[in-house]
A and B are shown apart, each in its own frame.
Chain A
């Protein structure tokens, strides 16, 4: 299987603090890959490096076969991100937001219309297409934020804590939409919700204190520490790091 991402000793230091410490990871094309960890584990910093928002202190990565350090501009054209906080233009309508981000990525008009219809169908945003985005509920705004990432036709999409701050119904709705994307686009999502990682991810990497402690499917992680639930397995894996 082709690799969408290959991390080789990727490291990020802020002064004396090491946020991400020499991590090696592979993400397969078309899968939903979860970075699971508590706050401060290094998940968001890893995504920031892979999206060009932050330069690695050491190590390197290949994203979609391109070198992160020397071919960032090409990578940016094929990758999109939905950030932790909802990143939308509040005074623009849903459709204007989508048109705006498509314009930034140079999406042709005919392709935009095609993708727009797909997104309206899959993310059910059609009913609020003319509504100012600041008037949408949190769940709808998050959905729009993901739609803005998808409208550019990325091969790889990063979802940073996509359900943070959403109520349980909105979370479940969003899970449904993310599952629909499986196989169409490679997704890397960060979360500290264990149920979310188990429900959505093909592969999960458990991170703590900037290290990757374990990688595998939810079942593989459970078996690796002989636990019945992902929560117990996570506590065991991360607890092992603390010891």
Chain B
């Protein structure tokens, strides 16, 4: 019950902050549109079978990440990095003010805090995911004249929960660890890392085995990969990256919950 009261407060705080609309909803949509326009302006060379035998065509093929069926899941995952940012700012701001001190003196438990921070951002993340996929569908109809697979899109939402938990967990972790001045800076590093190492703007496989190995050590690449597999209906290819993402999410979320509990009793 206390967790739900705290959830309600956090949702109100989030919805009344105009920046959350810009970053959590506006920015993913803008990026989806801009990247589609960029993709439309890239000339598509015809590659003959003879040419493929003599030249490395991976760089040319890499531009497929800008195709709407690849771009939409990528942007949906990238949008969650902004959820992470806002979650981090929310936790660190509460800690920097004496608001949390007042709540520590109340009957609230650590689990109430964790649930109260997680639920609102999970709801916003789900809303962001739905809006991004609806926008992707509209763009696909306009640009390609064909629909994305609606069934796979619907399946993508519940299966996106591990990614949501992952990014919210990172947000809570750094919001608990850092003050409200340092937290946004660290989150920016993660946003950049997720974009580059997650393969949102580039085809990681086309960049060589070493790059794939590096990216595989972090959760972002797996998170983007399984989201793309779901939309493509490649359920066999989805299993491993989904499992890896879920493990990362569980470990990071558990670490953030333990850190929060520890920090709340830091001087005891």
List residues of chain A with CB under 8 Å of any chain B CB.
Answer: 14, 51-55, 73, 76-77, 79-92, 96, 100-101, 103-106, 132, 148
Contacts and interface: CB of A to CB of B under 8 A. Distances in A.
Contacts of A55: 268
Contacts, number: 71
A76 B106 contact: yes
Interface in B92-149: 97-99, 101-108
B267 to A, nearest CB: 5
Contacts of A87: 97-99, 101-102
Contacts of B12: 91-92, 96
Contacts of B42: none
Interface of B: 1-2, 5-6, 8-9, 12-13, 16-17, 97-99, 101-108, 267-268
B5 A100 contact: yes
23 contacts: A51-B105, A52-B104, A53-B101, A53-B104, A53-B105, A54-B268, A55-B268, A76-B107, A81-B102, A81-B105, A83-B98, A86-B98, A87-B97, A88-B99, A90-B13, A91-B12, A100-B5, A100-B9, A103-B1, A104-B2, A104-B103, A105-B107, A132-B16
Nearest to B106: A104
B98 A85 contact: yes
A92 B6 CA distance: 12
Given A53-B104, A54-B268, A91-B16, A104 B5 contact: yes
Contacts of A96: 9, 12
* 8 smallest beta-carbon distances between A and B, as pairs: A103-B5, A87-B102, A85-B98, A55-B268, A51-B105, A87-B98, A83-B98, A91-B16
Contacts of B17: 91
Given A76-B107, A92-B13, A104 B98 contact: no
Contact of A14 (B6, B102, B267): B267
Nearest to A160: B98
A145 B90 CA distance: 20
Nearest to B12: A92
Nearest to B100: A87
A55 to B, nearest CB: 4
Contacts of A80: 105-106
Given A51-B105, A83-B101, A105-B107, 11 more contacts: A76-B105, A85-B97, A87-B98, A87-B102, A89-B99, A91-B17, A100-B5, A103-B8, A104-B2, A104-B5, A104-B106
Nearest to B14: A91
Contacts of B16: 91, 132
A54 B108 CA distance: 15
Specify which of A53, A84, A92, A106 lies most central, judged by the most chain B CB atoms within 10 Å of its CB: A53
A89 B9 contact: yes
A53 B108 CA distance: 12
A97 to B, nearest CB: 9
B229 to A, nearest CB: 39
Given A87-B102, A88-B99, A103 B268 contact: no
Nearest to A45: B267
B104 A89 contact: no
B2 to A, nearest CB: 5
B105 A92 contact: no
Contacts of B6: 104
Contacts of A51: 105
Contact of B107 (A14, A77, A90, A91): A77
Contacts of B5: 100, 103-104
